[in-house]
């Protein structure tokens, strides 16, 4: 069972929820936590799993053999990302590594077999285990823009090594390609929002994406306030369960600042996260 924790924007408490859920579930069974927020992974600040292994995340990068190249321009024409340019007059083929997505089209289409591929390292994949928690994290190198490709790489690697029955994914914020890739395999999506008009607006965007993907989902309201009912009304209209409300409380903000996840900080909250998990389990298995 894969549960993806998403939010329309950053800073809503997505990592608070994903790590609290993981921590709570780990008190009763084995669970994998995957941080796919590759541009800013921070789950392990809270889970504190010792990293046992690191692997380089890489993309194929074309390189040209000038003894075979005729400067015909085919590679430039087939590249959808404007990452390879042929300068006929200068007899040069330039590959812009930061734009290249490693799709392999130029290599496959070069009529003279002049292109081969080398590895371009774009980030680090790390993993480790502590108690019942298996932890996996993808981290993009600073300045890289290929988050989707890094997520794809991590997911492929996970399909080889993650054997857990329960996987909780911390998705990137927003609603763009990396988020869609993080939601794709989910059996259930938790949408995290703050209890404000801004939070609500962004959550609705994430909701639309999840709905288009025909996913089961529920809402967790972080820093819940009284007096703002838009999210609850929306949930009622759209028939989405509100799984939990985390009250607005200085104590919780302090535990977050101290790197302590809510389930570790409070048994009461841990039990609430366990209730959320049982609910999701039933929903998924009754599907
Ligand atoms: S397609 Fe091959 S032969 Fe043609 S310009 Fe590109 S690298 Fe050179
Ligand atoms: S591998 Fe794909 S993205 Fe990179 S230069 Fe070739 S065609 Fe363009």
Pocket test for ligand 2, best of 102, 115, 120, 146 (most atoms within 8 A of CB): 102
Prediction pTM value:
0.91
Residue of the nearest CA to atom 6 in ligand 1? 75
The confidence score (pLDDT) of residue 255 equals 87
User: Cα(149) to centroid of ligand 2, in Å?
Assistant: 13
The confidence score (pLDDT) of residue 8 equals 72
The confidence score (pLDDT) of residue 261 equals 92
Tell me if 220 sits within 8 A of 276, measured CB to CB.
Answer: yes
- pLDDT reading at 19 higher than 90: yes
Residue 221 gets the label, from left (phi > 0), alpha (psi -120 to 50) or beta, of beta
Q: Kind of pairing, strands 92-95 and 115-130?
A: unpaired
The confidence score (pLDDT) of residue 173 equals 84
Mean pLDDT of the chain: 94
What are the b/e assignments for 79-97, b being 16+ CB within 10 Å? Answer: beeebbebeeeeeebebee
**Distance (Å, rounded) from C-alpha 87 to C-alpha 93?**
6
**pLDDT tier, 226 (very low <50, low <70, confident <90, very high otherwise):** confident
Pocket test for ligand 1, best of 61, 105, 115 (most atoms within 8 A of CB): 115
- pLDDT reading at 9 higher than 80: no
Residue of the nearest CA to atom 6 in ligand 2? 106
- pLDDT reading at 182 higher than 80: yes
User: Cα(218) to centroid of ligand 2, in Å?
Assistant: 39
List the end-to-end C-alpha distance of the chain, in Å, as a whole number.
12
- pLDDT reading at 175 higher than 80: no
Give pLDDT tens digits for 46-89. Answer: 999 999 999 999 999 999 999 999 999 999 999 999 999 999 99
Helix 14-26 crosses helix 267-285 at what angle (to 10 degrees)? 90
Residue of the nearest CA to atom 2 in ligand 2? 103
- pLDDT reading at 227 higher than 80: no
Give pLDDT tens digits for 108-164. Answer: 999 999 999 999 999 999 999 999 999 999 999 998 889 999 999 999 999 999 989
Pocket test for ligand 2, best of 106, 115, 116 (most atoms within 8 A of CB): 106
The confidence score (pLDDT) of residue 130 equals 96
User: Cα(120) to centroid of ligand 1, in Å?
Assistant: 20
Torsion of CA 136, 171, 164, 159, to 10 degrees: -80
Residue of the nearest CA to atom 3 in ligand 1? 69
Q: How far is CA 60 from the centre of its chain?
A: 22
Give pLDDT tens digits for 199-216. Answer: 889 899 999 999 999 999
Domains and CATH numbers, the chain: 2-57+123-285 (3.40.50.300), 59-121 (3.30.70.20)
**Concatenated DSSP letters of the chain:** -EEEEE-SSTTSSHHHHHHHHHHHHHTTS-EEEEE--TTS--HHHHH-PPEEEEEEEEEEEEEE-TTT-----HHHHH-TTS-EEEETTTTEEEE-TTT-----HHHHH-TT--EEEEEEEEEEEEEEEETTEEEEEEEEPTT---HHHHHHHHHHHHHHH---S-EEEEPPSSSSHHHHHHHTT-SEEEEEEESSHHHHHHHHHHHHHHHHTT--EEEEEEEE-SS--HHHHHHHHHT--EEEEEE--HHHHHHHHTT--HHHH-HHHHHHHHHHHHHHHHHHHT-
Tell me if 195 sits within 8 A of 219, measured CB to CB.
Answer: no
């Amino acid at each position: 069972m894969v549960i993806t924790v998403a939010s329309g924007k950053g800073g809503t408490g997505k990592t608070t929820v994903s790590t609290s859920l993981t921590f709570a579930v780990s008190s009763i069974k084995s669970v994998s936590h995957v941080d796919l927020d590759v541009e800013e992974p921070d789950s392990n600040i809270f889970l504190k799993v010792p990293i046992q292994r690191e692997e380089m995340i890489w993309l194929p990068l074309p390189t040209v053999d000038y003894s075979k190249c005729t400067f015909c321009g085919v590679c430039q024409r087939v590249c959808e990302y404007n990452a390879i340019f042929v300068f006929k007059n200068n007899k040069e083929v330039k590959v812009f590594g930061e734009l290249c997505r490693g799709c392999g089209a130029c290599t496959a289409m070069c009529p003279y077999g002049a292109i081969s591929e080398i590895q371009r390292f774009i980030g680090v994949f790390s993993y480790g285990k502590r108690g019942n928690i298996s932890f996996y994290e993808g981290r993009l190198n600073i300045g890289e823009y290929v988050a989707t490709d890094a997520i794809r790489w991590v997911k492929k690697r996970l399909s080889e090594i993650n054997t857990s029955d329960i996987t909780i994914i911390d998705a990137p914020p927003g609603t763009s390609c990396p988020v869609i890739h993080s939601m794709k395999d989910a059996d259930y999506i938790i949408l995290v929002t703050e209890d404000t008009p801004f939070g609500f607006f962004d959550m609705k965007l994430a909701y639309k994406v999840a709905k288009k993907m025909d996913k089961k989902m529920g809402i967790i309201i972080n820093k819940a306030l009284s007096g703002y009912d838009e999210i609850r009304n929306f949930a009622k209209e759209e028939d989405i369960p509100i799984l939990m409300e985390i009250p607005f409380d200085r104590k919780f903000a302090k535990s977050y600042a101290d790197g302590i996840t809510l389930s570790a900080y409070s048994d009461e909250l841990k039990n609430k996260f366990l209730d959320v998990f049982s609910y999701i389990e039933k929903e998924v298995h009754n599907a």
